[in-house]
Amino acid sequence: MTTFLGSIFWLIITLGVLVTFHELGHFWMARLFKVKVLRFCVGFGKPIWSRFDKQGTEIAIAPIPLGGYVKLLDTRDCEVHPDDLEATYNQKPIWQKFLIMFAGPAFNFILAFALYWLMFVVGKNEIRPTISDPTKLMQSAGFQNKDQIKNIDGEEIRTWSDVSLHLITSGIDRKDIVVEVSTASNTRINRTLALSQIPASVAEEELIDYIGLQAYRVPMPAIMGELDESMPAAKAGLMTKDLITKINDQAVKDWYQVTEIIAAIKSGPIKLDVVRNQQNITIEVPGLIPDPNDDSRMVLGITAQLPAENEIEYYRSLFFSLSYGPLESIPQAFHQINKITSKSLEMMWKLVSGKASLKNLSGPITIAQVANDSASRGFSWYLSFLALVSLSLGIINLLPVPMLDGGQMLFLMFEKIKGSPLSQQFELRAQFIGMFLLISLMSLAFYNDILRSVS
Half-sphere exposure of 8 (CA within 13 A, CB side): 5
pLDDT tens string 278-305: 899 999 988 888 877 777 777 888 888 9
In the predicted model, what is the mean pLDDT of residues 403-426?
A: 85
Flag whether 14 is in a domain: no
169 and 291 assigned to the same domain:
no
250 and 181 assigned to the same domain:
no
Residue type, position 99, single letter = L
What is the pLDDT, as a whole number, of residue 286? 87
283 and 423 assigned to the same domain:
no
In the predicted structure, residue 455 carries a pLDDT above the cut 60: no
What is the pLDDT, as a whole number, of residue 93? 93
173 and 237 assigned to the same domain:
no
In the predicted structure, residue 2 carries a pLDDT above the cut 80: no
* Interatomic CA distance for residues 279 and 243, integer angstroms: 10
- Using alpha carbons, select from 297, 265, 269, 273 the residue that is nearest to residue 222: 273
pLDDT tens string 143-181: 999 999 999 999 999 999 899 888 888 988 899 999 999
> Which stretches within 142-254 are classed as H helix?
160-173, 207-211, 232-236
170 and 252 assigned to the same domain:
no
pLDDT tens string 336-350: 999 999 988 888 888
In the predicted structure, residue 360 carries a pLDDT above the cut 80: no
CB 57 within 8 A of CB 37: yes
Give, as one character, the DSSP assignment of residue 292: T
Flag whether 163 is in a domain: yes
CB 388 within 8 A of CB 396: no
What is the pLDDT, as a whole number, of residue 394? 93
pLDDT tens string 99-129: 999 999 999 999 999 999 999 999 999 999 9
To the query of whether residue 427 is one of the catalytic residues in this protein, the response is no
Q: Which of 23, 156, 309, 311 is catalytic?
A: 23
pLDDT band at 334 (very low <50, low <70, confident <90, very high): very high
**Residue partners of 240: CB distance under 8 A and separation at least 6:** 224, 225, 226, 227, 305
295 and 152 assigned to the same domain:
no
132 and 206 assigned to the same domain:
yes
Backbone angles phi, psi at 126, to 5 degrees: -130, 170
CB 403 within 8 A of CB 438: yes
What is the extent of the structural domain holding 282?
A: 232-306
pLDDT tens string 363-391: 778 888 888 899 999 999 999 999 999 99
184 and 212 assigned to the same domain:
yes
Flag whether 313 is in a domain: yes
Helix axis angle, 94-122 to 405-418, nearest 10°: 150
What is the pLDDT, as a whole number, of residue 75? 84
Flag whether 116 is in a domain: no
Flag whether 18 is in a domain: no
Overall domain count for the chain: 3
Cα(first)–Cα(last) distance of the chain, in Å?
23
pLDDT band at 448 (very low <50, low <70, confident <90, very high): low
- Using alpha carbons, select from 267, 256, 257, 252 the residue that is nearest to residue 300: 267
pLDDT band at 446 (very low <50, low <70, confident <90, very high): low
In the predicted model, what is the mean pLDDT of residues 71-94?
A: 86
165 and 208 assigned to the same domain:
yes
300 and 405 assigned to the same domain:
no
What is the pLDDT, as a whole number, of residue 30? 95
In the predicted structure, residue 5 carries a pLDDT above the cut 90: no
Flag whether 423 is in a domain: yes
Flag whether 112 is in a domain: no
What is the pLDDT, as a whole number, of residue 351? 81
In the predicted structure, residue 229 carries a pLDDT above the cut 60: yes
192 and 316 assigned to the same domain:
yes
Q: What percent of the chain has pLDDT over 90?
A: 49
pLDDT tens string 266-278: 877 889 899 999 8
Average pLDDT taken over every residue of the chain: 88
Residue 131 is part of a domain; what is its CATH number? Answer: 2.30.42.10
pLDDT tens string 21-65: 999 999 999 999 999 999 999 988 888 999 999 888 999 999 888
CA distances from 343 to 50, 132, 142, 349 (A): 40, 27, 27, 10
β-bridge partners, 64: 44
CA distances from 348 to 354, 394, 397, 454 (A): 10, 14, 13, 26
Flag whether 284 is in a domain: yes
Cα 164–169–171 angle (5° rounding)? 90
pLDDT band at 182 (very low <50, low <70, confident <90, very high): very high
Give, as one character, the DSSP assignment of residue 402: T
312 and 301 assigned to the same domain:
no
